[in-house]
Structure 1
Amino acid sequence: KPRGTRDMLPDEMERRREIEARMRARARLYGFREIATPVFEELELFTIRSGEGIINEMYVFEDKGGRTLALRPELTAPVLRMYVEEGRSLTKPVKWCYFADCFRYERPQKGRYRQFWQFGTELIGADSAMGDAEVIILGYDLLKTAGVTFVLRIGHLSFMRTLLADLSDSDAKKIRAFLDKREEAAAVTYLHDIGQDHLCDPLIRLCGARTLDDVFAVIGEIPEAARIQETFAILDAAGIPYEINPAIARGLDYYTGIVFECFAEGLGAENQILGGGAYRLAHLFGGEDTPSVGFAIGFDRVMVALGETGWNPWQPQVMIIATSEARTDALRVARELRMHGIITETDVMDRSFSAQMKAAGRSADYAVIIGKEEVATGTVTLKDLKAGTQEKVTVPEAIQKLTCA
């Protein structure tokens, strides 16, 4: 298989689908409905927002019509493109969620692959503290629903922008890039190198701030203060635990306000599992300037962080064991069991009765045995293959016992 990709066997797929289902159901409770976009898009959709440099991290190709296309490296841009083309007339706010695979040409690491999956949400058209807070609460709730242990950290771009307001755009961007990589010492060194020593101590103090009072003590009052304070008050009222982190810079330049990240245990250095914030993108794709807030969850990292916890996969596995004259009855019983949600297999290898029993012992929890006597009495023999016990019961009785197992 290509480097950075994986094969997923049935046990892993069942586990992933279970966690997916929990997260989808939780997002729906908040009114978010699922959408889907194409796997490939026009290359310009991504370069118009992130610049030409992103091409080196993407799978780019030319189709037979000479169009330059790219496998999607993320989903926010496609979703906003979809909003501009299909959703501008919808009642605001638009609440969309998605689960899909993305593709990036980068060095594979633990929980980081070239084909990877994202679960994300976008709240489009709401410009309020309540909108910002609801999306943060939903992100927190989704990770808790999945069973992940994590820390939620929240910042606001105005904090660092205010402190670095007198720097050139290129210098401020380099400082934010250091902070985005959690390289505070490198940011301080850079300030020293460009002759901005007076900012070194405030930068250190701001990065260490853990309350809004601490933040405003460094940067003073800012126009966004009331909105920021309201957002945090809503989170407090909702009982959401978080840490304030003014150093969150986010690698994508389009964020405009609140930013937030979640970091999970057990992932080593690559432990960010969720990232999001407030942004404006629709105008880049021909739409009106529209406030939006959203996040993406790295689903592969969710599964790595969960390890073997957070899921109980066991369901009774049943194997029908039938003699040749009972094959018709075996098919009928199998159908009835499956209609009641019981995982049921029948012999497809034309095995003898004893060979069927051996096969059941290797792969099933229960055997439903049907022979000449069972056909005559309208019963089956239900055998617990782990305990070694068995009893003759009717099919409805077998169904009741198996669904309660």
Structure 2
Amino acid sequence: MAASPSVLILHPRLTLFATSLRPFSLIHHQFSLRPPTPSRLPILFARSRNHSSSISPLPTATPLSTDDSKETPHAGRSGSVSSPPFQAADYSQKIDVNPPKGTRDFPPEEMRLRNWLFQNFREVSQLFGFEEVDYPVLESEALYIRKAGEEIRDQLYCFEDRGNRRVALRPELTPSLARLVMQKGKSVPLPIKWFAVGQCWRYERMTRGRRREHYQWNMDIIGVPDVTGEAELISSIVTFFKRIGITARDVGFKISSRKVLQEVLSFYSVPETSFSKACIIIDKMGKIPLEEIKKELNSVELSTEAVDELLQVLSMKSLTELEEKLGAAGEAVSELKQLFSLAEKFGYSEWIQFDASVVRGLAYYTGIVFEGFDREGKLRAICGGGRYDRLLSTFGGDDIPACGFGFGDAVIIELLKERKLLPELPLEVENIVCSLDPDLQGAASSVATVLRGKGQVFKRAARINARRLILVGSSEWQRGMVSVKILSTGEQYEVNFDELG
């Protein structure tokens, strides 16, 4: 991540202390000081190389239940939350200093890590020619109420606003993407290659790597009808993993296609209306007992014979075995073979494997689907995506071929912890300006202002790993000079103030 210029102004009383310490000790001491009394001049900071911003959760839509063993939200439509009568806060009582369950604060050290992660998301996306977009965190509830049976429907933070409109905090980004594509219409030339890094909300049971509030990296391609789109998306994720030190020994991708299920179910004349329901049930495999899976499939008009055949196909881990079962002429096998061929050309064959049980739980997927997984099996899916050619028509638009993926921030951090790959991101201050006399505080401020206006100064300093102490003394200042001390080496010299850089 590119360094930002930073300047720290020290009060004269701390100057002697500062000049006698190594750089890291100095910075550590700065942040361990108690807040000064109003009568003392505080330490002043300019922009630090890594800086934080505050995060304000949206408590208005937070479900009222605090018992995580009971995940059923209060009564309301589609998992909505009924608000109790407003009660004025009693400010005489100490407020709970913890954020709402399932949400996070980002103090400076966590914010530096988040910025590092997001910067890698952005740089990889731009490397592949994608442009960044964003959408409102608050959307119409109707955007997510697509088809019954999806988990996401019952995980919404949704409510009625003061204009009597049903709204929801976005649980994912793809529907917002679809809405924006429809809004833009033909004014945006195809193909569209957009990415976003946005906050999402789902009221669900919390486990390791799963929170009720998280950030998600999405990359989407609109207007590419063949599997070259999916191949490029997987390549971008592999590129990201390599950048942060994750290898094919750590992570893999399970690849399949929704069309595999379509071909099996069509043979048994299962109605189209049952297809998406069956996909949602199959996505629960491994989470609930197999007998329960069979019962749920029977309940959506699948015969016992169709269920047995379907489960047999879903157990396949070999594309050759699938081809022997379905034949080579069908779209499912043809597209999968093309994707695996492209993986060789992109250079990530060792990262991917065929697994017919992957279907993804969202109803809008139509073709190739994939999931990134931890090879040790300790974590939930790291990312997932696929093709969704018929998404726009669910909102009344004209369908356009499309594919994309979602990648959460929480699981990847857990994986980096597991592999001991979390980067060290200490706060770094490039320049420290000290006045040796209280009357020279104004002069020290002038020096800091000049340094802040010369961004190139700090880039040069970063290249030689130098952190400087700028001393403003009375005799030197009268001659228009300041003293510069390189803290990493102890070297000290005088520089004309006008030439300071």
SS in 2 for 1:48: coil
Structure 1 contact 265–305 (Cα < 8 Å) conserved: no
Query: 2: distance between equivalents of 1:23 and 1:108?
Result: 25
Q: 1:316 offset after TM fit, Å?
A: 4.3
The match for 2:172 is 74
Out of 312, 320, 329, the position equivalent to 2:433 is: 320
Q: 1:257 offset after TM fit, Å?
A: 0.6
Out of 300, 303, 309, the position equivalent to 2:410 is: 300
Letter in 1 for 2:164: G
SS in 2 for 1:23: helix
For the aligned residue pairs, the C-alpha RMSD in angstroms reads 3.4
Q: 1:302 offset after TM fit, Å?
A: 2.1
Query: 1: distance between equivalents of 2:391 and 2:313?
Result: 32
Q: Which has the higher contact order (CA 8 A, sep 6+)?
A: 2
Q: 1:228 offset after TM fit, Å?
A: 2.6
The match for 1:150 is 251
SS in 2 for 1:152: strand
The match for 2:106 is 8
Query: 2: distance between equivalents of 1:105 and 1:42?
Result: 17
Query: 1: distance between equivalents of 2:278 and 2:163?
Result: 43
Structure 1 contact 325–371 (Cα < 8 Å) conserved: no
Query: 2: distance between equivalents of 1:332 and 1:180?
Result: 63
SS in 2 for 1:21: helix
Letter in 1 for 2:159: F
SS in 2 for 1:256: coil
Which structure shows the higher strand fraction?
1
1:255 aligned onto 2:255? no
Q: TM-score, normalised by structure 1?
A: 0.81
Structure 1, 108-117 or 221-230: larger mean CA deviation: 221-230
The match for 1:103 is 201
The match for 2:28 is none
Query: What do residues 336-392 of structure 1 show as CA deviations (whole Å, max 9, x unaligned)?
Result: 43333678xxxxxxxxxxxxxxxxxxxx965433222432451314152x77x3523
Structure 2 contact 138–169 (Cα < 8 Å) conserved: yes
Indicate how the Cα distance of structure 1 residues 395 and 36 shifts in structure 2: closer, same or farther if over 3 A, else same.
Answer: farther
1:26 aligned onto 2:124? yes
The match for 1:380 is 483
1:275 aligned onto 2:381? no
SS in 1 for 2:445: helix
Letter in 2 for 1:369: L
Query: 2: distance between equivalents of 1:62 and 1:217?
Result: 53
The match for 1:285 is 395
Structure 1 contact 49–284 (Cα < 8 Å) conserved: no
Structure 2: gaps (5+ residues): 1-98, 459-465
Query: 2: distance between equivalents of 1:86 and 1:184?
Result: 40
Q: 1:20 offset after TM fit, Å?
A: 1.0
Residue identity (%): 28
Letter in 2 for 1:235: A
Q: 1:221 offset after TM fit, Å?
A: 3.2
Structure 2 contact 201–214 (Cα < 8 Å) conserved: yes
Out of 341, 360, 364, the position equivalent to 1:233 is: 341
Indicate how the Cα distance of structure 1 residues 50 and 383 shifts in structure 2: closer, same or farther if over 3 A, else same.
Answer: farther
Indicate how the Cα distance of structure 1 residues 156 and 273 shifts in structure 2: closer, same or farther if over 3 A, else same.
Answer: same
Structure 1, 242-251 or 48-57: larger mean CA deviation: 48-57
Query: 2: distance between equivalents of 1:3 and 1:158?
Result: 39
1:214 aligned onto 2:321? yes
The match for 1:135 is 233
The match for 1:337 is 451
1:368 aligned onto 2:481? no
Structure 1 contact 277–294 (Cα < 8 Å) conserved: yes
Query: 2: distance between equivalents of 1:11 and 1:117?
Result: 17
Structure 1 contact 153–261 (Cα < 8 Å) conserved: yes
Q: TM-score, normalised by structure 2?
A: 0.66
Indicate how the Cα distance of structure 1 residues 267 and 207 shifts in structure 2: closer, same or farther if over 3 A, else same.
Answer: closer
Q: 1:226 offset after TM fit, Å?
A: 2.8
Q: 1:251 offset after TM fit, Å?
A: 0.6
The match for 1:348 is none
Query: 2: distance between equivalents of 1:312 and 1:293?
Result: 35
Letter in 2 for 1:19: L
1:223 aligned onto 2:330? yes
The match for 1:403 is none
Indicate how the Cα distance of structure 1 residues 374 and 87 shifts in structure 2: closer, same or farther if over 3 A, else same.
Answer: farther
Structure 1: gaps (5+ residues): 344-363, 401-405
SS in 2 for 1:394: strand
Query: What do residues 300-336 of structure 1 show as CA deviations (whole Å, max 9, x unaligned)?
Result: 2222322363534254454322122322331232234
Structure 1 contact 317–342 (Cα < 8 Å) conserved: no
Query: 2: distance between equivalents of 1:199 and 1:284?
Result: 27
1:242 aligned onto 2:343? no
Structure 1, 191-200 or 226-235: larger mean CA deviation: 191-200
Query: 2: distance between equivalents of 1:208 and 1:266?
Result: 21
Query: 2: distance between equivalents of 1:203 and 1:267?
Result: 22
SS in 1 for 2:398: coil
Q: 1:175 offset after TM fit, Å?
A: 6.3
Q: 1:198 offset after TM fit, Å?
A: 8.7
The match for 1:360 is none
Out of 423, 426, 437, the position equivalent to 1:311 is: 423
Q: 1:139 offset after TM fit, Å?
A: 2.7
Query: What do residues 182-213 of structure 1 show as CA deviations (whole Å, max 9, x unaligned)?
Result: 42994478559968479758845652423x21
